[in-house]
């Protein structure tokens, strides 16, 4: 255990987030997502007991989203966000205007280029988010 680190951020997960550079992407995917097929030779981290909003909130506690749109959501049918999508926007600490909705197959294309994919136990459809890593501010450790 580590102080001030959300326990959903396991060692391998933290290592992947740390290895990411500015604008590299992490996909937080629902249980229906074709993570293994899209990841190919990149890591897939399985967190079957966590929801996508829970995992996205944990990720945003250690890395900031890139400039808008720092988060992409898989577009659901209709004009309104689904409940899970609204929870994802809130979990990222963003407003709806700060996220982009992407067609399902375009989302898959972006996910196939992501640095890491995290497959959760989220059972609600369209519960997928892609977060691009922003610049982590200097924490004063360069002394």
CB 89 within 8 A of CB 69: no
Among residues 52, 122, 59, the alpha carbon closest in space to that of 87 is found at 52
Which of these is catalytic: 22, 37, 100, 113?
A: 22
Tokens of 101: 């909705």
Tokens of 40: 């190919």
Known active-site residue 22: yes
Tokens of 55: 């995992």
Active site amino acids? 22
């Amino acid at each position: 255990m580590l102080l001030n680190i959300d326990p959903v951020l396991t060692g391998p997960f933290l290592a992947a987030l740390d290895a990411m550079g500015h604008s590299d992407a992490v996909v937080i995917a629902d249980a229906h997502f074709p993570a293994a097929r899209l990841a190919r030779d990149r890591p897939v981290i399985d967190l079957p007991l966590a929801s996508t909003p829970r995992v996205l909130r944990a990720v945003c506690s250690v890395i900031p989203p890139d400039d808008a749109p720092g988060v992409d959501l898989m577009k659901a049918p209709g004009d309104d966000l689904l409940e899970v999508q609204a929870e994802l926007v809130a979990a990222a600490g963003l407003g709806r205007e700060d996220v982009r909705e992407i067609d399902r197959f375009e989302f898959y294309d972006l996910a196939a280029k992501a640095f890491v994919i995290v497959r959760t136990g989220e059972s609600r459809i369209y519960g997928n988010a892609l977060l691009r890593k922003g610049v982590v501010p200097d924490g004063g450790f360069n002394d």
